[in-house]
Chains A and B, each alone.
Chain A
C-alpha cells in the first residue's frame, strides 16, 4: 500500500515534469504563431532549457532514489492524471533532449531563413514539428495514464509523419502515407485494448491498474486479450519484425536531421510503452510464452534486418535496415529482465543501455550519412571510395557509431550487449546469446561495407562541401554513444530506480 500512496501524491520537484512538457509545447505553439523567421531561434533557444530540465529531473530522481510524481491539477487518479518519472523516464528525457538539440543544430544549414530571403514553408514546418515531436516524447516518457499515453503516441505520430515527407518528393509521400497507415492501425489496436482494460478495472492509471490486476487471484481472459491488442499495436509503431515494412523507406527518405530523430527516438517511444505495459502494468501476465514470443520476433528482426542491411545499395537504407535489426535487441530483454531473478537487474540495465546507445549511435550515423549525401550528391555505397579523405570527421563518426552497433568495446553498445549476454548465460537461455553474437558479426559486416571503401585511397568528386561544425555534431553524438560505455556504477543505480520488480515486491 505504501507504493500506491507514494504514486498518488505530488513529490518534491514534481513541477519539473510539467515544465519538461510545456517548454517544448510552448516552443511549438509560439513557432507556429510567430512564424517562419523566428521559429528556428525559438527552437534553438528552448533546446538548452529543455536539456537543463531533463538533467534536473534525472538528478532529482537520482538524489531522492524515488520516482518523481506530479498530480495534474490536484485531481488524484483514477479521476485525474498523474505524471511520473522513474530512472528509465529520466534517462530517456535526457537522451531525447540531447539528440533533438543535436539534430536542431545540424539542421540549421538546411532549414534556416536568412534575413535576405523570403520565408518558406519547409523551415517553419520543420522547427514546429521538431518541437511538437519533442513535447510528445516528453508526454510519452512521463505519462502515467494509458489513455493519456494514447494521445501522446498520436501526437508523436502526427509530428513524425510530416517530417518524413518534408521535401514533398513522391516517394517520400508514399513512405509517409504507409508509415501513417501502420501507425493508425497500431493506435486503434492500442485504444481497443485500453477500452477493455477500463471496462474491467475502471481505471487506466498505471499504478492503480497494476495494483488492481495484481490483487486478483485469477485475471479475466479479457485482460490477456487487451494486453495482446495493445502490444500488437505498439509493435507496429516500434517496427518490430514482421511489422517493420514501413520503416526503411520512411527513415531513409526523410531529411537527415529528421531521420536521426525518427530512428533514435520515435520508435523507442512505443517500445518504452511496451516495457511499461509488461513490466509495470501486468508483470504477472508476462509468462514465459509471452516473453519468448517477443524475444523470438526480436531475434528474427536482428538476423533479418542485418542481412537486408548487408544487401542495400544506398547508405541511408543500410542504416534504416540496421535500425530494424537493433530494435530486435531491445526485445531480448523481455525473457531476461521479467521477474525477480538475480540476473533481471542486469538484463534491465542492458535493455535500457541498448535503447540509449542505439539512439546516440544511430543519430550520429544518419547525420553522417546526410553529410556524405550532401557532399557527394548521392549516397550509393558502391561510389563511396575515398570519401574518408574528403571528410575524415564524418567517416570517423560513422565508424564510432558502427562500433557501438557491433557491440565492440569501448562503447555503450558493448555495455548493453555484454549485460544482455551475461543475463542470458546466467539464466541458461543460451539461444539469445547466440543470436546476439551473430547479430554483432552481421553488424560488423555492414559497417565494414561502408568503412572499407570510404578509407580506400581514391579521390571522390565533391559537389557541395559541408561545414566542419555539422561534421562535429555527428561526431559528438557518436562520442556520446562511446562514452556510455564508460558509465559509472551510479548511472546503473539511476536506471534501477522505480524498476517495476521493486515496486511489485513492495506491495
Chain B
C-alpha cells in the first residue's frame, strides 16, 4: 500500500467518523468536535490532491495547499464562533443542549 493510498483511506475514515458524530451525537460540543474531525479528513484529501498534481519541479501542487490553509482558518473561526455561542448558552441556562424545550427560563417562548 502506497503512502498516498494510506493517507486517502485515513481521510475517508476521518470523514466517515466525523459525519457519523455530527449526525448522531445530540450534544453540540461533540457535534463541533465531529465537525473538526470531518474537516481534517477533507484537508487530508486536499493534501493528497496536491501530491497528485506535482509537476514542473514542484514536489506538490501549491494551490490545494493554499486552499487547505484558508480552509483551516475558516474551520478555526467557525469553531471559535460555535464555542462562544455554547459558552454564552451555558451561562444563560446552565446547560448546553439543542433541545428547544430545555431553556426553561423564559416561559411562553416556543422558539
Contacts and interface: CB of A to CB of B under 8 A. Distances in A.
Nearest to B84: A162
A198 interface: yes
A158 interface: yes
Contacts of A175: 111
A172 B89 CA distance: 9
Q: Which secondary structure dominates where chain B touches chain A?
A: helix
Chain A contact surface mostly: helix
Q: How large is the interface on B (under 10, 10 to 19, 20 to 34, 35 or more residues)?
A: 35 or more
B103 A174 contact: yes
A252 interface: yes
Interface in B16-64: 22, 28, 31-32, 35, 38-39, 42, 45-46, 48-49, 52-53, 61, 63-64
A409 interface: no
Given A158-B78, A181-B82, A185-B35, A169 B109 contact: yes
A174 B98 contact: yes
B9 interface: no
B92 to A, nearest CB: 5
A147 B105 contact: no
A228 to B, nearest CB: 14
Contacts of B32: 181
Interface in B62-103: 63-64, 67, 70-71, 74-75, 77-78, 81-82, 85-86, 88-89, 92-93, 98, 100, 102-103
A158 B75 CA distance: 11
B35 A181 contact: yes
A154 B74 contact: yes
Given A188-B42, A198-B63, A313-B110, A170 B52 contact: no
B17 to A, nearest CB: 13
Contact of A191 (B42, B98, B105, B106): B42
A178 interface: yes
A177 B49 contact: no
Interface string A152-185: 0010011001100100111111111110110011
Interface of A: 78-79, 147, 150-151, 154, 157-158, 161-162, 165, 168-178, 180-181, 184-185, 187-188, 191-192, 195-196, 198-199, 202, 249, 252-253, 313-314, 317
